[in-house]
Structure 1
């Protein structure tokens, strides 16, 4: 993931600094990919890494941890991994980025962060 973030940041001068505000940049990058008109399959790798980046923001800023989804969660979310919040709830930031690509602005990764249940206060997160 670090290499992907480095390439995107350097090439496009985007502030992907693992801040909550940078999730807005994830939304914008996803919108740009969507406007370019490719099929989702042709940008699946980029969408995955953007979702992984969003998940890492959740980990660093809200006290979440990466988890392997169980069989039921994999079927529900269509992903192998996600994040677990301190209250035990699991979320799928990788899938959220894919939804943003498919549906547009009503599926905001940044808004997802603000709606997360069980977040630690900003000053208590890792």
Structure 2
């Protein structure tokens, strides 16, 4: 699915993975994926498009992982998070190999949040997830 299963530190490669995914996705489409909080609305829209295409989760697993990596990278760049490898218990709970740790120590699962948006729909907004996220660094408006 992600290309990380069974490898060493997946967290160490997530920034590069997200950047590569964005490059591949935006070279054919003019999508405003600029790592801003507002761009999470675009991710919601993209996931909704995958849902409407009646694709099953397995067929779109790579796209969901890439979008989850992007959401995680927004948390890293905008909320002060860092990528972390999940331990065995966290992997079992979250169903993902990596996540992010917020400045207050809380661990979140952006990859799983994208899957939830795909499976549940609008109630699982990624932009709302960010705006309600506990433990984020609040950025001052310039």
User: Does the TM-score normalized on the shorter chain lie above 0.5?
Assistant: yes
1:18 aligned partner:
35
CA distance in 2, matches of 1:122, 1:109: 18
Query: 1:65-96 deviations in whole A, cap 9, x for unaligned?
Result: 00011111111100010000000000000000
Alpha-carbon distance between aligned partners in 2 of 1:11 and 1:96, rounded to the nearest angstrom: 25
Give the match for residue 28 of structure 1: 45
List runs of 5+ in structure 2 lacking aligned partners.
1-17
Return the match for 1:38 from 27, 48, 55: 55
1:116 positional shift? 1.0
Deviation at 1:11, TM superposition (A): 1.6
Q: TM-score, normalised by structure 1?
A: 0.94
Instruction: Supply the distance in 2 between the matched residues of 1:24 and 1:9 (Cα, whole angstroms).
Output: 16
CA distance in 1, matches of 2:114, 2:124: 8
RMSD: 1.2
1:64 aligns with 2:87: no
1:25-104 matched pairs, under 5 angstroms: 25-104=42-121
Distance 1:113 1:20 in 2: 7
**Cα distance in 2, alignment partners of residues 2 and 120 from structure 1:** 22
Q: Distance in 2 between matches of 1:114 and 1:72?
A: 27
TM-score under structure 2 length normalisation: 0.84
Structure 1 unmatched ranges of 5 or more: none
